DNA sequence: GATGAATGAGCCTTCATTCAT
DNA sequence: GATGAATGAAGGCTCATTCAT
């Protein structure tokens, strides 16, 4: 019991530091992150960050891990809770990705901050690729269950359609970030449906549901 | 004559520094930029960056300016050279944005690097918004010339469609960055056309042209 | 009985810490000593060093004490066990100092580490002077018993001869440290005898004994 | 001319930093060395040390280099200036090593500080071995020129005698450091001569000269 | 105009020390 | 007594910026 409390406390502190890192990135950008600021934001002392994560880089990496984990949980649960119909799964997935709390200004800002550093950091790149693969596979799997084998409208393979849908959602996040006042989740969702409707006629009808 | 040479020399050095900044960002990310690296990359002396741009921030800002200027030139010339038909203008615009040299791994990496810092820097935000406004207006203008006034398919206004198209193209850039091997300009262009075809029937046919 | 066990336990832990300090100095030099490394080397917990010795400085000082104590025991027992003849005492003393386990690479390294810090630390200096005085007095006492009062060969007083012998032995330790492969205890001992033989003819003969 | 001045200035600053490092080691020991203290001692700004030597370790290493260089110059010039007679060369050599400015409390303290760290630092060890090899060879060469080939008194080879003489001088330095008030250069020199006199009868006479 | 040595603020990191458990 | 998480001071190092040459 004594031991458990200590271990729990440690986990709690780590969690606080990761959340503080998130907040600092959101507020000051990637280049504005300082171990001191993180500690202060977490209401802890100077050395604690290095104590728990050894290096700043490690702390940043674990924060990115946490971000991906949350994102993955979101889409997995959206699919799991949407019922068996693929069209419902896809609909719910899109909504989940493009509405709060996933599409949230702070969160998107942090995503962007990491992505901006990704091409020049191997560790980020690898993490990113790993998660993207799973994410893309999940989307493609739903699409595949909606059509016959030799489906190829607009000369695009299913794979490319999935990629494009993902690109579109990422693009809306970016828009959310760079022009938050012009961005409306409803329109973003509609646009995704419109895109899909040119491949899958069923989506024509679902437009009203939004 | 002597004076002219001096002024030209000055401009040349400034240009070299901006290009070097671009290269360093592409190679090492935004957080990897130092005045020393930029100077070295430009094959110039240490203090030269501050000499010409006063501060690092100023150099970074002017580099972003140059980036936007190039981008704007690209889409303006695409529209200008496409002929009078809106559909041709839009087609060429999309191709211009999603093909080299505009959609280039290095260039996109630099865009991302700036965007990652944008939400936390007012100057970047303002610059970004200003350019985006013009860019969005140009796209919307073309779309508007293609349809009647009360156009409202999928419950989306023309404005939102333009935004969505832009978001889509930005999303493909992002994809280009994070998964360069899976990204194919052809598919990205097709996807944009597919998206537009669900609003503008004319695009159905243009699919073959790509 | 319980109390005794506790006290013993405490002594044991202190001893382990001192030994660990010794090991860490030998392995990483004086500047490489940290409380954490010492604790880890002793297979104990982080805070234990300060718990038993209050400060790092105190732990280092007590380790030096232990080192001197061991050294003193060595030469005292060498003298005590050598029989009554001064020449035998001196012979055994020299051998004891210049052969393992006293002349041991690790041990000498630790001596050097402390000596390197000695001139800038009053506490070490005092400890060092105190022990050296006794050590020098013991050597001088043996020498004195070997000669008549007005002994003054080479213009050197007995006192200076004792000092020189000690310096010589210290010098061999140093050599052991800086050129361990070239150092041979046998030669070092012979050299000491050669030095003494130029003051005390008796040593001429003892050369063969080594 | 302009360039020369700049280069000279740079060399001067480097020199000042090395001397300051020397002073700080002498005053506060190896573990008391701080880049800030060195800079302050040299009357320069904080970052200058790293600017010229990259790392603290590098600065310490170059300081050791300078120390060895000075030492080597001392014994080489002593030999060169002593005339052709080996006994004169050896005599002058010993005097040079055991008298100021070479045998100087500060300088010896710095030597000791480095030696204390030597066993745990490969770079120091290598530097040390390299110089020692030359130093020992020079001493041995003089000794060799004083005797016939099959010289082997006290069962010691010439090589071992040279080593022993060096060990003796090192030991006196150590004594100088740990018991400066008891150390007298005159006695140290006499002791060396006494040691040598037991191998080389010629040294018997030279005792008076000191 | 250009250079690069010098400055000094600020950051990451280490580490002795404390103290709640 | 022992543990190890937490603290906070201090050090090495980087880097934007300045300025004498």
Task: State residue A51's pLDDT score.
Answer: 97
Between residues C8 and D162, the one the model is more confident about: D162
Calculate the angstrom distance between C1' of E10 and CA of B30: 19
- Decide if D167 touches C, using CB distance below 8 A: yes
CA distance C107 to B76: 79
CA distance C16 to C8: 12
Pick the residue of C71, C98, C103, C120 with the most D CBs within 10 A to test the interface with D by mutation.
Answer: C120
At a CB cut-off of 8 Å and minimum separation 6, what does D172 contact? C164, C167, C171, D98, D103, D183, D188, D191
What mean pLDDT comes out for the span C165-188? 93
b/e code A35-63 from CB counts within 10 Å (16+ = b): bebbbebbebeeebbeebbeeeeebbbbb
| pLDDT tens digits, A189-210 | 999 999 999 999 877 655 555 4
What mean pLDDT comes out for the span A54-70? 97
Give residue C132's pLDDT band: very low, low, confident or very high (50, 70, 90). Answer: very high
Minimal CA separation from D45 to chain C, in Å: 25
Which residue is closest to A26 within chain B, CA to CA? B120
In terms of CATH, what superfamily is B57-204?
Tetracycline Repressor, domain 2 (1.10.357.10)
At a CB cut-off of 8 Å and minimum separation 6, what does D184 contact? C160
Is the pLDDT reported for residue D151 higher than 80? no
What mean pLDDT comes out for the span D101-122? 95
Give ranges for CATH 1.10.357.10 in chain A. Answer: 57-204
In terms of CATH, what superfamily is C1-54?
Homeodomain-like (1.10.10.60)
In contact, B183 and B176? CB cutoff 8 Å: yes
Least confident residue range of B187-191, C70-74, D15-19, D143-147: D143-147
The candidate with the shortest Cα–Cα distance to A125, out of A177, A54, A64, is A64
At a CB cut-off of 8 Å and minimum separation 6, what does D39 contact? D17, D20, D45, D46, D48, D49
Q: How many CB pairs under 8 A join C and D?
A: 192
CA distance D111 to B155: 85
What mean pLDDT comes out for the span C45-73? 96
Minimal CA separation from D10 to chain C, in Å: 30
Give ranges for CATH 1.10.10.60 in chain A. Answer: 1-54
Q: Which chains touch D (3 or more CB pairs under 8 A)?
A: C
How much of chain D, in percent, has pLDDT values that exceed 90?
A: 81
Q: Report the protein residue whose CA lies nearest the C1' of nucleotide F18.
A: B47
Is the pLDDT reported for residue C4 higher than 70? no
Q: Which of residues 33-92 of C touch D (CB under 8 A)?
A: none
pLDDT in tens, chain B (210 residues): 445 677 888 889 999 999 999 999 999 999 999 999 999 999 999 999 999 999 999 999 999 999 999 999 999 999 999 989 999 999 999 999 999 999 999 999 999 999 999 999 999 999 999 999 999 999 999 999 998 777 778 889 999 999 999 999 999 999 999 988 888 899 999 999 999 999 998 776 555 554
Of C116, C153, C160, the CB nearest to D30: C116
Q: Which residues of B touch A190 (CB under 8 A)?
A: 154-156, 160
Q: What is the DSSP letter of B33?
A: -
DSSP D103-117: S-HHHHHHHHHHHHH
In contact, A20 and A36? CB cutoff 8 Å: no
Tell if the CB–CB gap between C155 and D190 is shorter than 8 Å.
yes
What mean pLDDT comes out for the span A135-146? 95
Tell if the CB–CB gap between C194 and D190 is shorter than 8 Å.
no
Of A residues 47-106, those with CB within 7 angstroms of nucleic strand F are: 47-48, 51-52
Minimal CA separation from A136 to chain B, in Å: 11
Task: State residue A181's pLDDT score.
Answer: 86
What mean pLDDT comes out for the span D105-130? 95
Average model confidence (pLDDT) across chain D: 92
Q: Report the protein residue whose CA lies nearest the C1' of nucleotide F8.
A: A46
Calculate the angstrom distance between C1' of F6 and CA of A108: 33
* B46 CB closer than 7 A to any strand F atom: yes
Calculate the angstrom distance between C1' of F8 and CA of A46: 7
In contact, D176 and D102? CB cutoff 8 Å: no
Pick the residue of A67, A151, A195 with the most B CBs within 10 A to test the interface with B by mutation.
Answer: A195
Tell if the CB–CB gap between A177 and B128 is shorter than 8 Å.
no
Average model confidence (pLDDT) across chain A: 92
What mean pLDDT comes out for the span D78-92? 94
In contact, C172 and C188? CB cutoff 8 Å: yes
Of B156, B170, B183, the CB nearest to A171: B170
Tell if the CB–CB gap between A193 and B154 is shorter than 8 Å.
yes
Is the pLDDT reported for residue A16 higher than 90? yes
CA distance C85 to C30: 41
Minimal CA separation from C8 to chain D, in Å: 34
- Decide if A190 touches B, using CB distance below 8 A: yes
User: Any idea of the CA torsion for A193, A195, A199, A203, to the nearest 10 degrees?
Assistant: 10
Task: State residue D2's pLDDT score.
Answer: 43
Task: State residue D209's pLDDT score.
Answer: 52
- Decide if C163 touches D, using CB distance below 8 A: yes
Task: State residue C206's pLDDT score.
Answer: 53
Of A residues 9-28, those with CB within 7 angstroms of nucleic strand F are: 9-10, 13
What mean pLDDT comes out for the span C90-97? 96
Calculate the angstrom distance between C1' of F15 and CA of D116: 35
Tell if the CB–CB gap between C178 and D27 is shorter than 8 Å.
no
Minimal CA separation from C198 to chain D, in Å: 6
- Decide if B180 touches A, using CB distance below 8 A: no
Tell if the CB–CB gap between B119 and A29 is shorter than 8 Å.
yes
Is the pLDDT reported for residue C158 higher than 80? yes
Task: State residue D115's pLDDT score.
Answer: 95
Task: State residue A106's pLDDT score.
Answer: 94
Q: Which of the given ranges, A151-155, B7-11, D62-66, has the highest pLDDT on average? A: D62-66
In contact, A116 and B29? CB cutoff 8 Å: yes
Q: Which residues of B touch A128 (CB under 8 A)?
A: 178
Of A27, A117, A166, the CB nearest to B30: A117
Tell if the CB–CB gap between C190 and D30 is shorter than 8 Å.
no
- Decide if A179 touches B, using CB distance below 8 A: yes
Task: State residue C1's pLDDT score.
Answer: 44
- Decide if C27 touches D, using CB distance below 8 A: yes
Query: What is the residue whose two structure tokens read 């040079």?
Result: D96
Average model confidence (pLDDT) across chain C: 91
Tell if the CB–CB gap between D182 and C197 is shorter than 8 Å.
no
Task: State residue D188's pLDDT score.
Answer: 96
Q: Which residues of C touch D30 (CB under 8 A)?
A: 30-31, 116-117
What mean pLDDT comes out for the span D34-56? 97
| pLDDT tens digits, D178-198 | 988 888 899 999 999 999 999
Calculate the angstrom distance between C1' of E18 and CA of A37: 24
Task: State residue A202's pLDDT score.
Answer: 78
In contact, A104 and A198? CB cutoff 8 Å: no
Which residue is closest to A128 within chain B, CA to CA? B178
Residue D115, token pair as written in the block: 């030696």
* C36 CB closer than 7 A to any strand F atom: no
For strand F, the positions having any atom within 7 A of a protein Cβ are 1-19, 21
């Amino acid at each position: 019991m004594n031991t458990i409390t200590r271990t729990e406390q440690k986990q709690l502190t780590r969690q606080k530091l990761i959340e503080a890192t998130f907040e600092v990135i959101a507020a000051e950008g990637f280049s504005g992150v300082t171990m001191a600021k993180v500690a202060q934001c977490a209401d802890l002392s100077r050395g604690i960050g290095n104590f728990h994560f050894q290096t700043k880089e490690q702390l940043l990496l674990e924060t990115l891990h946490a971000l991906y984990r949350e994102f993955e949980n979101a889409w997995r649960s959206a699919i799991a809770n949407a019922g068996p119909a693929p069209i419902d799964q896809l609909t719910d997935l899109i909504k989940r990705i493009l509405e709060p709390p996933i599409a949230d200004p702070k969160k998107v800002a942090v995503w962007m901050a990491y992505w901006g550093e990704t091409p020049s950091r191997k560790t980020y790149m690898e993490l990113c690729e790993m998660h993207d693969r799973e994410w893309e596979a999940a989307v493609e799997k739903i699409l595949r269950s909606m059509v016959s084998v030799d489906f190829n409208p607009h000369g695009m393979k299913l794979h490319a359609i999935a990629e494009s849908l993902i690109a579109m959602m990422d693009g809306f996040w970016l828009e959310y970030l760079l022009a938050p006042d012009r961005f409306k989740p409803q329109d973003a969702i509609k646009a995704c449906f419109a895109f899909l409707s040119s491949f899958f006629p069923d989506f024509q009808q679902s437009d009203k549901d939004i």
